[in-house]
Amino acid sequence: MSGMLLEIENLHTHFLTRAGVVQAVNGVSFTLARGEILGLVGESGSGKTVTGFSILGLIDPPGRIVEGSVRLDGLELTSLDQEGLRQVRGKRISMVFQDPMMTLNPVLSIGEQMLLAVRAHERITRRAGLERAAAVLTRVGIPEAATRLSAYPHQFSGGMRQRVAIAIALLHRPEVIIADEPTTALDVSIQAQILHEVRELARESGTALIWISHDLATVSSLADRLIVMYAGRVVEQGPVAEVLSDPRHPYTDGLLASLPANARPGEVLRQIPGNTPSLLDLPEGCAFAPRCARASTICATAPQLTHSGPRSWRCHHPLGAGA
């Protein structure tokens, strides 16, 4: 696995709450190549956001990375100190959050906030910094960027705010951008636009992208490779086309079946029955078993990872060719 830009290995992130230990991320491993676009999908609550924050060391107490490693080009991020992490954040790995209404500071002007982000990693005059900011705003499709620098977030629409957040993420041409459902909170008409733009920007600058979404349809139009998460674990991964056409894990299959595009006319959308399990005390075995039509007694034990070429899955009763 050497030569990979980002290697995440056996990552465990837990929250020590009063009710008990929430095992939000529970042994996640995956890699990311330079310039690759990786889609990270799973239902809400499956640990996608926590995985993203864990990579950047942004887990606040009572959360903690209890085990595992995150290596960026060989640099172990989990053992970096505060300052070491700071130098990586925004410079080598950036992140765009889900809700653009909450991420920008309402009482600082756009220019001021971007300047802070520029100066986090560069000694630069105020003027040159603002010029840089305006240039990047123009790249993400904000018209009259130079004059908009003095505006405040409340004067922007949700889509515009998310563009500003994307611009901040792009400022230092990072090697990786983690985009955590950046279009979920936006109007449908703007979603596709932003999706397209971010892909172009990433391609242009050779930036690798981890695109997090609960919506398989969105991700599959964008990503090179898919990672499917369920209850804090990766249950399946592989190239997008293969995973979509020939899913191995029943959960992936269920997600696919629930897509509107896959429904036959007149048929009700097939939802996966049941709910996501509580992460407080996960069972030993497969967390999906209670909702799975293929489950048997063996599913009470944890399924091991099965590899096949560029694909892998974690299931006792996989579908398709491997079964």
Partner 1 sequence: MLGFVIGRCLQALVVMLVMSLVVFTGVYAIGNPLDILIPPEAPQDIREATIARFGLDRPIWEQYLYFLLNVLQGDFGRSFIYNMPVLTLILSRLPATLELALAAVLGATLIGVPLGIYAGYRPTSVAARLIMGLSILGFSVPTFWVGLILILAFAVSLGWLPAGGRGPTVLLFGVPWSFTSLEGLSHLLLPALNLSLFKLAMMIRLARAGTREIILTDTVKFARAAGISEATILRRHVLKLISIPIVTVFGLEFGSTLAFAVVTETIFSWPGLGKLIIDSITSLDRPVMVAYLILIAALFVTINLLVDISYAALDPRLRGGRGA
Ligand X SMILES: Nc1ncnc2c1ncn2[C@@H]1O[C@H](COP(=O)(O)OP(=O)(O)O)[C@@H](O)[C@H]1O
Write out the residues near ligand X by the rule CB under 6 A. Answer: 15, 17, 22, 24, 42, 44-50, 63, 279
Identified binder of partner 1 from the candidate list 82, 271, 297, 304, rule CB under 8 A: 82
Binding residue for partner 1 (CB under 8 A) from 10, 17, 44, 105? 105
3-state secondary structure (DSSP) of residue 2: coil
Nearer to ligand X, 5 or 231 (CB): 231
Query: What residue 156 binds from partner 1, Mg ion, ligand X, none (CB within 5 to 8 A, per partner kind)?
Result: partner 1
Q: 227, 237, 206: which is closest to 36 by C-alpha?
A: 206
Residue number with CB closer to ligand X (96 or 137): 96
- CA 245, CA 299: separation in Å to the nearest integer? 25
Report the nearest approach of ligand X to the CB of residue 44 (Å). Answer: 4
Token reading at 121: 């990693």
Cα separation, 213 vs 221, whole angstroms: 12
Nearest approach in angstroms of CB 131 to partner 1 is 18
Query: Which of 33, 66, 67, 152 is the binder for partner 1 (CB under 8 A)?
Result: 152
What ranges make up the beta strands (E) of 6-149? 6-17, 20-32, 37-41, 63-72, 75-76, 93-96
Least distance (Å) between residue 319 CB and partner 1: 38
Question: Which residue's CB is nearer to partner 1, number 176 or number 287?
Answer: 176
72 near partner 1, rule: CB under 8 A: no
Strand residues in the chain grouped as ranges (E): 6-17, 20-32, 37-41, 63-72, 75-76, 93-96, 176-180, 208-213, 225-230, 233-239, 306-308, 311-313
Measured distance CA(104)–CA(81) in Å, rounded: 26
CB of 273 to ligand X, least distance (A): 20
Rounded least distance, CB 21 to ligand X, Å: 10
Q: Does 218 bind Mg ion (CB under 5 A)?
A: no
Closest to 185 in 3D by CA, of 85, 266, 254, 96: 96
Instruction: Tell me: does residue 183 bind Mg ion (CB under 5 A).
Output: no
Binding site for Mg ion (CB under 5 A): 49
